[in-house]
Amino acid sequence: MGKTIRMTNSTKWETPAPIDAAKGFRIHFIVFLLATPVIWLVWYLTDRTYPWPLWSTPAWAVGVLFHYLGVFVFKKPKNS
């Protein structure tokens, strides 16, 4: 009936490579875990009058949460 659309990522050799959603989430989560302390350190070493990382940290955490939900909870069934 309908045409199945497969998600692929084009390489420089123009051959499609499958996208690993779980790997993408793991990379996102690791970057979040590594960058958040750096952001707080920048705040600590500069002007500590207003804790501006209180805005960026939870906002980014919500993004990581939705990424997790999209990959592991509300995942689409794989079509072969």
Query: Does 10 map to a domain?
Result: no
Query: Does 9 map to a domain?
Result: no
* C-alpha–C-alpha distance, residues 70 and 60, integer Å: 15
The tokens describing 26, both together, are 């793991």
Q: What predicted TM-score, i.e. pTM, was given to this entire model?
A: 0.73
Query: Does 2 map to a domain?
Result: no
DSSP annotation of 16 reads E
Per-residue pLDDT tens, the chain, 80 aa: give them. 555 555 666 656 666 667 788 999 999 999 999 999 999 999 999 989 999 999 999 999 999 999 999 999 997 776 65
Query: Does 79 map to a domain?
Result: no
Query: Does 37 map to a domain?
Result: yes
SS percent in the chain: helix, strand, coil, step 5:
60, 10, 35
Total structural domains within the chain: 1
DSSP annotation of 13 reads T
* Structural domain span for residue 47: 18-73
Query: Does 61 map to a domain?
Result: yes
**Closest alpha carbon to 68 in 8, 24, 17:** 24
Query: Does 34 map to a domain?
Result: yes
